[in-house]
Amino acid sequence: MRMLLRAVVLLIVVMSAISAIRGLLHMLQAAKREGGQPTGTGRLVKDPVCGTYVAQQTALSARNEFFCSEECRSKFLTDTR
């Protein structure tokens, strides 16, 4: 009986840890998708690589396109050569 109780408690702890980790990962992914866009006014443009919307004044640009990061801009330039 004591062993069964320990197993149940361990299962609850593991499930709680998994749930917390999933929540953190979800928050990080949401922040990445948002691209850290400002809350002020301004035109939002869509990154053609990842689909993130970013304020035009803070976006990186190349070939009349706007990007949320150097990584996306580099990928776009490499893929369109």
- Residues 28 and 53 occupy one common structural domain: no
- Residues 26 and 53 occupy one common structural domain: no
Domain that holds residue 74: 37-81
pLDDT bucket at 6, cuts 50 / 70 / 90: very high
- Residues 44 and 78 occupy one common structural domain: yes
pLDDT at 79: 87
- Tens of pLDDT, residue by residue over 12-28, are 999 999 999 998 888 88
- Residues 26 and 42 occupy one common structural domain: no
Tell if the pTM clears 0.75, that is, is over it: no
- Tens of pLDDT, residue by residue over 30-64, are 777 766 544 555 789 999 999 999 999 889 999 99
Beta-carbon contacts of residue 70 (< 8 Å; ≥ 6 apart):
60
Q: Count of domains in the chain?
A: 2
- Residues 29 and 3 occupy one common structural domain: yes
